[in-house]
Amino acid sequence: MTSLTFAVLAAGSGSRLGGQAKQLRLLSGRPLWQWSIDKACQWSHLRDEPLNIILVVPPVGLESYTKEAKKLFPDVTICTGGASRTESALAAAKRSDSDFIMLHDGARPFLSLDICASIWQQRHSHRAVIPVLPATDAVKRQQGSQWTALPRDELFLTQTPQLFPRQALVDLLSSLSQSEFEMMKDEAELWIARGKELVTVAGSEENYKITGPSDWERAVTTTRPKNYRSGMGYDVHPLAPHRPLVLGGVQIPSPLGLLGHSDADILSHVAADALLSAASLPDIGTLWPASDEQWKGCRSLELLKESARLVRHKGWIIQSLSVVLTAQTPRLSSWHQEIVQSINDALNAPVCSLTFKSGETIPPVGTAQAMAAWAVALIAGA
């Protein structure tokens, strides 16, 4: 098997957009850096051999971003970049031990898996593969006061990801001086300058780079949700002595706990089912059957996390999650905030609202024989 590292270069300052660091800007609910990582994870799932994914972050100043990335993508390697793009590329290539490395601009959120696959098809131990777009406008060059028309048919615009045999790229970039580092627009530039073999594949108009405010506006317009779906979850569990009471991942001291195959966390169950239903995915009982011994006593909050990940993988953004719990005992109001926080953390989005109702002495909830819960989720897609 030939191994591949997919590195997302997101260590730049993005100064041309102004304001907040570019990679932290939220595009349809996701920070810009996350779009490429999500796409790489998607590709990794589809491949026979998973990708090694590296996210290159700035050396200083954006520690919260690094922390968030580690939390969201525990399998992604976080690597510190340099002052220039090329230094970041070298840092990623040195960190990897794969045969090949694909370098992708973190500011190109609309990467398609088709481009990745056609690049990968062209791999060879001696050549680089890059996506290009033919120049469609007439092109002129200005040198002082002199203007020259350039033959458009010979001109191409370069995109990313760019594929290189990794060790050859490390050797090449390691030979650069500091001033050469700063001048380099992309790694393919150096590759061809040294007379090495380059192959191109067709890029795509959608795979544009967000550089200035008009690119950002275009990205916001294309990602504005056009499609909303809702889903509902319902669950009931009997109350029994000598059982833990876990609600939304929070363990609550109580003489009675919920009975079930897992930790019987009824709130995680309804939340997960509501999300899965909205995205037309199988319910939790189908994904993680009670008949399967490996889920015995499992922490249901982990199943909620996984459900949210599956929903996001289908391209949905979680907009809201409204949960109602009916319980007679114990008194839960003092736990409200902690439970909401725990569910929001599992979803990685501040979307949960939670209502407690008593059972009004009506069986089985009102007679403390059971708890019942409902949840409604709203998700949005492009």
Chain positions contacting Mg ion, by CB under 5 A: 235, 269
Nearest CB to Mg ion, comparing residues 156 and 295 = 295
Cα 123 versus chain centre, distance: 26
Nearest CB to Mg ion, comparing residues 101 and 271 = 271
Taking the alpha carbons of 68, 73, 77, 81 in that order, is the dihedral positive or negative?
negative
In the complex, least distance from residue 372 CB atom to Mg ion, rounded to whole angstroms: 10
Nearest CA to 112 out of 276, 279, 317, 315 is that of: 315
Which residue stretches of the chain are H helix?
32-46, 63-72, 85-95, 113-121, 166-174, 178-183, 187-193, 213-223, 266-278, 284-287, 300-313, 336-347
Nearest CB to Mg ion, comparing residues 78 and 298 = 298
Considering only CA atoms, give the Rg of the chain. Answer: 25
In the complex, least distance from residue 347 CB atom to Mg ion, rounded to whole angstroms: 18
Taking the alpha carbons of 307, 312, 314, 318 in that order, is the dihedral positive or negative?
positive
Q: Which two tokens stand for residue 211?
A: 């550089």
State whether residue 104 is helix, strand or coil: strand
In the complex, least distance from residue 251 CB atom to Mg ion, rounded to whole angstroms: 17
CB 158 within 8 A of CB 135: no
In the complex, least distance from residue 242 CB atom to Mg ion, rounded to whole angstroms: 19
In the complex, least distance from residue 310 CB atom to Mg ion, rounded to whole angstroms: 18
In the complex, least distance from residue 349 CB atom to Mg ion, rounded to whole angstroms: 23
In the complex, least distance from residue 166 CB atom to Mg ion, rounded to whole angstroms: 47
Q: Which residue is nearest to Mg ion (CB)?
A: 269
Contacts of 87 (CB under 8 A, 6+ apart): 81, 181
Residue whose structure tokens are 């459900």: 307
Nearest CB to Mg ion, comparing residues 108 and 269 = 269
